[in-house]
Structures are given as structure tokens and as C-alpha cells.
Amino acid sequence: MDSWTQAAIAFMERHQEWSFWLALVFAAAETTAFLSLAVPSTAILVGVGATVATGAIPFFPIWAGAALGAILGSTFSYWLGLRFGARILTMWPLRDQPELVEKGAEYFRKWGAGAVFLGHFIGPLRPVIFLFAGMMRMGFPVFLAVNVVGALAWAYVIPKFGEIGGLIIGWFWNLLGF
């Protein structure tokens, strides 16, 4: 875990009152095209989940904030795809990653609306899928419905993964007498 991720988790531990808003910001960054490359949000949310296992942070604000942030970020990415269409593929960093763009397009063609749900769980393709949903003119009500369900599931699973890992590590340490 890098120092930026550790600092973000430590800040959330010390300032629980900000946990909803920070989870929202991290999840929005994770699901927003282009911005997702700069912020290690999944690592932060998994780490925060491990902190939940210690009782230092309650789970609900993390889940609610991450869900709302994921909905907002992916909807913004959808809008970017809708607004700019194929021109967005000529912008950095997408123009430098044709294999990622092709995988995203193939995945979206194969799975349609299901790609929006599953896209929440597929790291590098995540924001590209939402762009393609907009570029392919997926109906907004369909996009929003599938996106909300996917965001709620993702926001639950990612921190829970860290929480369960934290509980297992705690159990193992207790077993060893630490």
C-alpha cells in the first residue's frame, strides 16, 4: 500500500465524520473517466474496509458514500461519452491505450446493459465502459437503473472484502497470541 493510500485511510480513521464524503469522493474519482487513473480509490476503499473490521470506522457511511460517488462518477463518464462521442477516444490517455479502448468496446457490445453493472467490478475497464454506454447512446433510464444497482453492489463488496480480510488477519493474530 502506498503512502498516499495509507494517509487517506489514516485520515478517515481520525475524522470519521468525513468518512461518507471521503468515500463519495474516492468512488466518484474511481468511476470517472480520466480521473480514475490518478486516484487509487479501490485500494483506499479496501483498506478502509479493513479498518472497519477494527471498529474504528462504521461501515454504513463508507457504503453509502461510495455508492453515491460511484453513481455520480459513472454517470458523469456516461455524459462525457454522450456529449463527445467518438472524439473522446482521441484524447489522452485513451488515444495511447487502443487495446483498453478495444476491450471496452468489445465488452460493451457483448454484454450491453450488463456491462454497466459488471463494469463497476472490472478495474481498468470501469470508466471506459461508462463512456461507451454514453457513446453508444444507451437510454439514460436503462443506464441509470443498471448503474445504481452496480454501484450499490460494488460499494458494498469492495470495503467488505477489506473488512473480511481484516477480520481474518485479526483472527490469525489472536490465534498466534499477538
Residue 20 confidence (pLDDT): 93
Range of the domain at 159: 3-176
Count of other CB atoms within 10 angstroms of residue 18:
15
Over its length of 178 residues, how does the chain's per-residue pLDDT go in tens digits? 577 778 877 887 888 889 899 999 999 998 998 887 777 778 888 888 888 888 888 999 999 999 999 999 999 999 999 999 888 888 887 788 888 888 888 888 899 899 999 989 987 788 789 998 999 999 999 999 999 999 999 999 988 888 777 777 777 777 777 7
- Tally of domains in the chain: 1
Tell me how far apart the terminal alpha carbons of the chain are, to the nearest angstrom. Answer: 22
pTM of the model: 0.87
Distances in Å between the alpha carbon of 164 and those of 54, 88, 112, 161?
11, 39, 32, 5
pLDDT of res. 1: 55
